[in-house]
Chains A and B, each alone.
Chain A
């Protein structure tokens, strides 16, 4: 039996338990992936809470503004985000196939699409701010609209920004050999979730507030 000495104490080195004795991971999902799923479930509650609160305010406020005239910018943003999910899938597939260069390329394309989305989002915010819409007031109706709009879209934009940073970091570290394909897949789950949330933000926050 091998021993380990720490200071004056000598103790037997623990031997790894045979795999048959190890507890199986929950739902046969690796720990990192399970952690991401738990985060996604918690984050779903966060976004759902925001959207329900928004719905409450919209329903209970008579002079709710309908300030959006064009859907062009929104359509382009939606197209970019949906496409970024596809490129993320390609990146994970390339990583699974052991194609490191391909995985990095697709991951960086996904990050670039995320940056494009964020820039369009900021451009839209700037246009609304120029029209006089702030957190507390706007020229069209209740001031609650600006607070709820910027809170929900800002929370989503924060997720996109964090995702872009993570994509670049994980992509580069995967290429460098520090991370593996599973790490890229876990990040992919997060990115698809950001896309999924947008599918609910678009109709409730934008399309239901189109000026007809």
Chain B
């Protein structure tokens, strides 16, 4: 495998991404102390977590430099994560009871 020379300015870009990740992590902690419903809290936290993960994937794991691999990872993972969502309705059914039982 061929090695590449480090790009100039890459260090400063990494530092910027690192600071952004710290700020986003801090935002998650702040959201946890807001007086909002659990659903709102969950939604806000997942949005922040997805932004954090995207930054890490694109810049720390260098997916931004390889469009083909980026789409492969996004589509593959997206499909798997989407397919896992089928159980939510059942979890609400357990907590709220089936509508026809009321």
Contact = CB atoms under 8 A, between A and B. Distances in A.
B6 to A, nearest CB: 5
Given A79-B22, A96-B6, A202-B25, A192 B61 contact: yes
Interface of A: 27-30, 32-33, 37, 40-41, 44-45, 48-49, 52, 55-57, 59-62, 71, 75, 78-79, 82-83, 85-86, 89-90, 93, 96-97, 180-182, 189, 192-193, 195-196, 199-200, 202-204, 207-208, 210, 212
Given A45-B80, A52-B87, A56-B91, A78 B25 contact: yes
B61 A93 contact: no
A199 B69 contact: no
A57 B13 CA distance: 40
Interface of A is mostly: helix
Q: How many of chain B's residues touch chain A, expressed as a range?
A: 35 or more
Given A52-B85, A97-B5, A199 B56 contact: yes
Interface in B11-62: 11, 14-15, 18, 21-22, 25, 28-29, 31-33, 38, 41-42, 45-46, 48-49, 52-53, 56-57, 60-61
A27 B69 contact: yes
Contacts of A195: 56, 60
Interface of B: 1, 3-6, 10-11, 14-15, 18, 21-22, 25, 28-29, 31-33, 38, 41-42, 45-46, 48-49, 52-53, 56-57, 60-61, 66, 68-69, 72-73, 76-77, 80-81, 84-85, 87-88, 90-92, 94-95
